[in-house]
Amino acid sequence: MTETSAETMRQPKLSYSSGVSQGTRWGDAGTSSTEVAFSTILGALTMEPDHDKAEANLLNLLIVDDERSIREGCRDIAQGIGYSTYIADNAEHAFRVLDTTSIDVVLLDLRLPGVGGLEVLKEVKRRRPETVVIVMTGYASVQSAVQAMKQGAYDYVTKPFNLEELRLILDRVLGHLQLSSENRILRQQVKSKEGFGAIVGRSPEMEKLYRIISKAAHSSHPVLILGESGTGKELVARSIHFSGPSRDKPFVAVDCGSLVPSLIESELFGYVKGAFTGAAKNKDGLLQAADGGTIFLDEIGELPIDLQSKLLRALQEKEVRPVGGTKPVPIDIRVLAATNRDLEHAVAQGTFRKDLYFRLNVLSLRIPSLRQRKQDIPLLVGHFLERLSLSTGIQRNISDDALKLMLSYDWPGNIRELENCIERACALTSGPTIHVADLPTTIQSWREQIEPASERLLPRRGIMPIAELEKQAILGAIEMLHGDKLEAARLLGIGKTTLYRKLKEYGALQ
Amino acid sequence: MNSEMNMKETSTPPVIKGMGVFILDEGAAQAMRHCLHELANVFTGLMIASGLLLQRPEMESLQHHLANLCEGSERGSALVRELRSQLLAACGEAEAVRPDSGLGASLGQ
């Protein structure tokens, strides 16, 4: 059954118009006409004229099997899914393909003539560790499966298998590789200013958010950004704008919650000269200022109901009517809105217009709270410390205990609270390391809730500098005595002058 | 050297039960493994080819023949799996079966 043709073949992107594969470069001497006819007919019959799909995925798959019917069957299935395929009937051929082509996936028979499949697997992994190898075998022992998996096989399939089984596996590999590639790109974007800018986080929740941002960026639909206060809704809005095709156009952020109610209308829609006292000349509104780009309406839930209808009209008709004006001004803007309120509840209560809610909620994304992605806290702390070191010129780090406490804390104020906490701790700390005592009292008192004082005051493991022990003892005593410094000095057995000097050193003297 | 043919040396002759009792010496067990492997190859090729052809509208007039071919190769495959399972059991080897799918014969990450 061994194929006599020595040539490994790559199937080009075929033209299927005639139902027969065009331009296929078949093997050289030794390929029988029957084999060509069978493969050609089968190939033509099984492949859909789906160039876009093939071009889009374009993963290189190498099929290594000494059984011709399996090579060809697998090839046709893989091409139908969108892989670019190469075939080899033995290890030597496989190595030749690997020498010249960057192979993403290998479908590998374990039992090959000459050099065995496990050796090929080893070699593939040595050359390109990220290559996904699916091992095929006719011998279904656990031992052979374990051996293959140990050597880095991604999956293991036992013959005989049918079309659907193989399709399922190849689809899964495709998904796996696309996800890995997307995540790689997203991680690169996270690091770059052009991408997701100041958003920091590598937790699965954030990876998911990046994917949604990436999709939203390339759409022109309104996006409703949901999330608790301090989660970074404006950062997400900026990321959507600056990752999309309108990145060179204006991005105008409006905090609907902080605008003076009587001025919201003229701020948003502009006014004409003489519209009201003090309107000495025409003034464009923020919606006009964002023309061609994006307007970000933060705290949209705070917008008065009468202005909600005016905003809805402006969005629907793509024009604004300035206060006091009669002529509408055309606008071309993308709207991003954010709220930490439950808009559905507001709609039910009649404080938010249902039609505006539906207009804004075409796409929606929810930013995870910090307590939902605590694994990002060390990364965020590092990010804020680095940013502060750039502005102050002082490099600081954080003690394990302080970080541990920060990891246990719930952060109701989310990233904003974490940022403030780091800034405050940097301002208070006397040395290069931020300790528990430098953290805000809210966080320190959190510690009291999660562990008793007796445990807190004793170093649990490792060596703690005496100065740090002293600092913790002094600050802890003052805290326990509700700020009574004289009593703290008495109980600690030190003079009040010493206590004040220490507090001054710690930056804790208020 | 083949990677999987000599993975486990058996000290006692394997016994296949079911349709009677067969006692195989080591050589016969190896030969049977080889035959089953070849059969698995043949049936894989048949199942894939018939499955692919069955999906083509052009083959409508031959649908019942293709369906027979598919069914036959599926039944043949099931027999190969059954025999292999018995041989593995007789040789004292565990069979690789993925619990999370209906595939019955592959392990995934």
- Digit-coded pLDDT (tens) for A269-317: 888 888 787 777 888 889 999 999 999 999 999 888 888 988 899 999 9
The reported pLDDT for the residue numbered A87 is 93
The reported pLDDT for the residue numbered A70 is 94
Residue A62 vs residues A59, A124, A423: alpha-carbon distances, Å: 10, 11, 54
**What is the tens place of the pLDDT at every residue in A125-148?**
888 888 899 999 887 666 777 788
The three-point CA angle A71-A74-A75 to 5° equals 80
CB proximity list for A460: less than 8 A, separation 6 or greater:
none
Burial of A114 from C-beta contacts in 10 A (0-12 / 13-18 / 19+): exposed
How is residue A148 written in tokens?
């293959």
Range with the poorest average pLDDT among A317-326, A445-454, B33-42: A445-454
pLDDT at B19 over 90: no
Token pair 């011709």 in the structure block, residue: A68
Give the pLDDT band (50/70/90) at residue B2: very low
Q: Which residue has the higher pLDDT, A225 or B26?
A: A225
CB proximity list for A207: less than 8 A, separation 6 or greater:
A183, A186
Under 8 Å between Cβ of A146 and B90: no
What is the C-alpha separation between A149 and A137, in angstroms, rounded?
Answer: 13
pLDDT at A123 over 70: yes
Q: What single DSSP character describes residue A253? A: E
The reported pLDDT for the residue numbered A188 is 52
Under 8 Å between Cβ of B55 and B70: no
Peptide bond into A222 cis (omega under 30): no
Q: What is the mean pLDDT of chain A?
A: 79
Selection from B38, B33, B102 nearest residue A69 by Cα: B38
Alpha helices per DSSP H over A318-392 = 343-349, 354-360, 377-392
Q: How many helices (H) and strands (E) does chain A have?
A: 22, 17
Instruction: Compute chain A's Rg from CA coordinates.
Output: 33
The reported pLDDT for the residue numbered B98 is 52
The reported pLDDT for the residue numbered A13 is 30
The reported pLDDT for the residue numbered A195 is 46
Across A465-473, average pLDDT: 78
> What ipTM describes this predicted complex?
0.74
Helix (H) or strand (E) holding A268: helix A261-269
Give the DSSP letter string of chain B: --TTTTS---SS--EE-SSS-EE--HHHHHHHHHHHHHHHHHHHHHHHHHHHHHT-GGGGGGHHHHHHHHHHHHHHHHHHHHHHHHHHHHTT--B---TTSTT-SEEE-
Instruction: Enumerate residues 6 to 65 of chain B having a beta carbon within 8 A of any beta carbon in chain A.
Output: 7-8, 33, 36-49, 51-53, 55-56, 58-59
B77 touches chain A (CB under 8 A): yes
A59-64 sheet: strands from edge to edge: A9-10, A83-88, A59-64, A105-109, A132-137, A155-158, B106-108
Residue A454 vs residues A228, A265, A378, A448, A458: alpha-carbon distances, Å: 35, 59, 27, 10, 7
Which three-class secondary structure state does DSSP give residue A291? Answer: coil
- Shortest Cα–Cα distance, B99 to chain A (Å): 13
Question: What's the pTM?
Answer: 0.46
Measured from the Cβ of residue A17, the count of other Cβ atoms closer than 10 Å reads 8
What is the C-alpha separation between A390 and A240, in angstroms, rounded?
Answer: 27
pLDDT at A22 over 50: no
pLDDT at A483 over 50: yes
Work out the angle between the directed axes of helices A414-428 and A400-408 (0-180°, nearest 10). Answer: 150
User: Which residue on chain B is closest to A172 by alpha carbon?
Assistant: B108
A123 contacts in chain B (CB < 8 Å) = none
Range with the poorest average pLDDT among A155-164, A175-184, A202-211: A175-184
- Shortest Cα–Cα distance, A165 to chain B (Å): 7
CB proximity list for A425: less than 8 A, separation 6 or greater:
A398, A402, A434, A438, A439, A440
Domains and CATH numbers, chain A: 9-180 (3.40.50.2300), 204-368 (3.40.50.300), 373-435 (1.10.8.60), 451-510 (1.10.10.60)
- Residue A141: which of B7, B46, B48 has the nearest Cβ? B7
Range with the poorest average pLDDT among A94-103, A218-227, B10-19: B10-19
Give the pLDDT band (50/70/90) at residue A91: very high
- Shortest Cα–Cα distance, B98 to chain A (Å): 9
Hey, are the CB atoms on B53 and A45 less than 8 Å from each other? yes
Range with the poorest average pLDDT among A28-37, A57-66, A249-258, B68-77: A28-37
Give the pLDDT band (50/70/90) at residue B23: confident
Hey, are the CB atoms on A73 and B52 less than 8 Å from each other? yes
What is the C-alpha separation between A69 and A1, in angstroms, rounded?
Answer: 9
The reported pLDDT for the residue numbered A450 is 62
pLDDT at A15 over 70: no
The reported pLDDT for the residue numbered B47 is 94
